[in-house]
Copies of this chain bind each other. A is one copy, B any other.
Amino acid sequence: MNIGQPGAPRRATISDVAREAGTGKTSVSRYLNGETNVLSSDLRARIEAAIQRLDYRPNQMARGLKRGRNRLVGMLVADLTNPYTVEVLRGVEAACHALGLMPLVCNAANELEMERRYLQLMTTYRVEGVIVNALGVEEEALRRLGEGGTPAVLVDRKVDGLEADMVGLDNTAAVQLGMRHLIERGFEDILFVVQPFEQVSSRRLREMAFRHALDDARRSRAQAAPPLEGRTVVLDLADADALARAYADLDAYLDAKRAAGARRVACFAANGPVALSLALHLHARLGANWQARVALMAIDDPEWAELIGITAIRQPTYAIGYRAVEFLHERIEGANAPLSEACLPGELVARASTSAA
C-alpha cells in the first residue's frame, strides 16, 4: 500500500490535530461540531491553525460509526439514460446539499439484478434513507429495506407491498391536460402509447386516465360531431420481437386510417422513451416528413422535442426530486406522520406537432 514514493501521505486524524494543537481530541471534536462558544479563543485559534497545517478532514465514516448516522442517502434510479431521471436527480442533489446530506446515486440501468444488488450495497453502507425510482417489480428487496428500519421515499412509481411516502406527477391531471389539448385541436384518432403498464403504477394510472378522458370526451361530444376513436398501444421497449410486432400493428393501423381518408392520427406517448422510440420508428418508416401523417405528443419534454416540434407535457422534475428528499429528511429526523403522497402538476408545452389535426 502506497509503498512507492517517500512519505506515503496518510491523512491526518483528530489525534494528530490534537497533538499539533497541544490539546485533547475532545476539544478538537468540539471545535469541529461548532461548539465554539465552549472553547477559549486561544485554544480555538490553535486548533484552527493545526487543522490548516495538517489539511485535516474529519472522517465521515468514523463519525457515522459513532453517531449512528453518516448523512448518506441512497438514490436508486431505474435508468439514468432517461432524461427524466437526470432531472429529478438535480432536485435531489440540490436538496441534499441544502440539508447536509450526501446522495449515493445508483443506476439500475433497467436491470433487476442491479437493482437488487445496489439495494443490498446501500444497506451495507448504512444509508440513512433511500429514494427509489424502482423498476417496478421486485418488491422483496425493498420491503426488507423497510423492515430494516430504513426510511424510503418512492419517486414516480409505487411498489406493491411497500408503504412509503411517494412523490411524482399528477398523472391523471396530466393526461387530461393532454387529451383536452388534442381534442380541442380537432384530433379524432388518438393512440395512447405506453410501455407494459401492469407492473408500474404511474403507467397504469396514465393509461387509465386516458381511457377515462376518452369516455368523458365521447359523452360530452355533440351528436353531429365526428366520432372520437382511441385505443391503447403497448410498446415493450425491452423486447425487440414484441416491439416489432407492435409496430407492425401500428403501421397497419396508420395505413388503414390513411386509406380511409382520415385526418392525422395523434400518438400520445406515455413518456419520453416511448416518444423517442415512436419518433425513430416513424422517421424510419415514413421518412423525414412523417409528422405530416402523425401528430406526436408526449409526457416528458426531452431536449429533442423542441428540435422537431413535439408538443410535450413537462414534468416538474426538479421539484419532484427536491420534495422527495424533504420527505425523506423528515422521516430520518423521526417524523411519524401518516404516509403522504405528493402529486405535482405537469405543464403543457404546445408545439407544432399538434397545431391542427
Listed in ascending order, the chain A residues whose CB lies under 8 Å from chain B are 1-5, 8-11, 55, 57-62, 64-65, 68, 70, 72, 80-81, 83, 86, 89-90, 93, 97, 102, 104-107, 109, 114, 117, 120-121, 123-126, 144, 146-152, 162-164, 276, 279-280, 283, 288, 302-304, 306-309, 331, 334, 336, 352
Contacts and interface: CB of A to CB of B under 8 A. Distances in A.
Closest 3 CB pairs of A and B: A304-B304, A9-B149, A4-B336
A2 B149 contact: yes
Nearest to A164: B1
A334 B2 contact: yes
Given A8-B149, A105-B105, A97 B125 contact: no
Given A3-B336, A80-B89, A58 B148 contact: no
Contacts of A8: 149
A182 B3 CA distance: 45
Given A90-B109, A125-B60, A126-B59, A276 B307 contact: yes
A142 B59 CA distance: 18
A37 B180 CA distance: 69
Contacts of A62: 65
A70 B8 CA distance: 18
A57 B9 contact: no
Contact of A307 (B11, B68, B107, B279): B279
Contact of A334 (B3, B90, B125, B331): B3
A6 B283 CA distance: 59
A58 B334 contact: no
Contacts of A117: 97
A162 B279 CA distance: 44
B126 A107 contact: no
B80 A70 contact: no
Contacts of A5: 336
A112 to B, nearest CB: 14
Contact of A60 (B124, B276, B304, B307): B124
A10 B58 CA distance: 26
Nearest to A69: B1
Contact of A86 (B70, B80, B146): B80
Contact of A107 (B93, B102, B304): B93
Contacts of A148: 9, 11, 55
A57 B123 contact: yes
Q: Could you say which of A104, A150, A309, A336 has the most chain B C-beta atoms within 10 Å of its C-beta?
A: A104
Given A2-B331, A2-B336, A60-B124, 5 more contacts: A4-B336, A9-B148, A10-B149, A80-B89, A279-B307
